[in-house]
Homo-oligomer: A and B are copies of this chain.
């Protein structure tokens, strides 16, 4: 395999542990709800919210604002009525405070020594920058749906990475823990690396991480990816 020039990373689930981080924050708030369930419910609102933007029902909306819309609805459903505006804003920014998987910083640091590494996330730039600063994610560049004003899996996002760096699509590799994201990138001519994240949805909801055809690389984590990509 000819090696790529640029590695673009999905972030939520691939680089950071959204489920564990959100569940821990919610549990620590003592709201009387189950953090595991709350985290899953919050994330479950994510694709439908983006779909309202894709369909044109909502204009272009940042993920911070979609997260907040979902949160306000969730708090009603979970019967939590006493959180004031400041507490809601703070809780909503839990998505800026997601912890990396244990291998992420070491793996990215090695990969950065040989490749241009960037995020390619539906998360907004401010969220991704705050997360990277707190978690020590050593991006060469933060790219987001916000730059392309389109959410993955819109081809404008995958092809946008190639255009930003002035390279051909096949010189970009998308790294993700989600086969649908990778398949959409392949359809645009990118190369793809699957990363196993069996605990993405928490230990009570193990995920099938078996290989699927089509990927150029299948890695157990980002340190293993650095080995496979000869860093």
Interface residues of A (CB under 8 A from B): 64, 116, 118, 124-126, 128-130, 132-133, 140-143, 146-147, 164-166
Which of A64, A125, A130: most chain B CB closer than 10 A? A125
Contacts of A124 in B (CB 8 A): 164
Alpha-carbon distance A64/B133, docked complex (angstroms): 29
Contacts of A143 in B (CB 8 A): 125
Cβ contact within 8 Å between A140 and B129: yes
Contact among B118, B126, B128, B130 for A129, CB-based, below 8 A: B118
Closest 4 CB pairs of A and B: A129-B141, A126-B165, A125-B164, A126-B164
Alpha-carbon distance A165/B142, docked complex (angstroms): 13
Which of A64, A116, A129, A147: most chain B CB closer than 10 A? A129
Alpha-carbon distance A132/B139, docked complex (angstroms): 11
Contact among B116, B133, B147, B166 for A140, CB-based, below 8 A: B133
Alpha-carbon distance A141/B133, docked complex (angstroms): 9
Cβ contact within 8 Å between A166 and B64: yes
Contacts of A129 in B (CB 8 A): 116, 118, 140-141, 164-165
Contact among B116, B128, B147 for A147, CB-based, below 8 A: B147
Alpha-carbon distance A140/B147, docked complex (angstroms): 16
Cβ contact within 8 Å between A141 and B142: yes
Contacts of A142 in B (CB 8 A): 141-142
Contact among B126, B128, B141 for A125, CB-based, below 8 A: B141
Contact among B126, B128, B140, B147 for A132, CB-based, below 8 A: B140
Contacts of A133 in B (CB 8 A): 116, 140
What are 5 sample pairs from A and B whose C-beta atoms fall under 8 A apart?
Answer: A116-B130, A129-B140, A132-B141, A146-B147, A147-B147
16 new A-B pairs (CB below 8 Å) besides A116-B130, A116-B133, A125-B164? A116-B129, A124-B164, A125-B143, A125-B147, A126-B165, A126-B166, A129-B140, A129-B164, A129-B165, A132-B140, A132-B141, A133-B140, A141-B142, A142-B142, A146-B147, A147-B147
